[in-house]
Structures are given as structure tokens and as C-alpha cells.
Amino acid sequence: MTGAYLSAAQLRSRMVLAARWIVAEHWPADDGRCPVCRVPDCLAIASAHAYLDATGTPHLPRGRRS
């Protein structure tokens, strides 16, 4: 791990990338359930949305609409 040597901006950038990846992976399927966690209320995507909201980052997967 090189995390201790990253600047705050670099850490934020990596966190945003990870959160966007989580949003894409955990986006609800047609049945409304998370395809990874298999639950209707996925904590992973909720946490990722909260982080992206807090950082003012757009976070809908490409081609998706809310």
C-alpha cells in the first residue's frame, strides 16, 4: 500500500473512482435488487452515493438515468 504517501487530492481522487465503480457494480437490476448483494437496499451503493454526494461528484453510471 502506498496510501500513506498520497496527497489529500490523490486520496480523494482514488476514493471517487472506487465509489463510482461501486455505484456501477451495485446498480439495481430490473427487479430492483442489487445484482451483487442480492438485496433491495444495498448498503454499498448507499455508502458510495453518500460519499459522491458529499464530494459533489456526479455519479450516475454512463447511460443511466435516475
The CA distance from 15 to 32, in Å, is: 26
In the three-class reduction of DSSP (H, G, I as helix; E, B as strand; rest coil), residue 17 is classed as: helix
What is the greatest pairwise CA distance in the chain?
A: 43
Smallest distance, Zn ion to C-beta of residue 20, A: 14
x/- contact string, 36-65, with Zn ion (CB under 5 A)?
Answer: xx----x-x---------------------
Compare residues 11 and 17 and give the one whose CB is closer to Zn ion: 17
The binder of Zn ion chosen from 19, 20, 23, 34 (CB under 5 A): 34
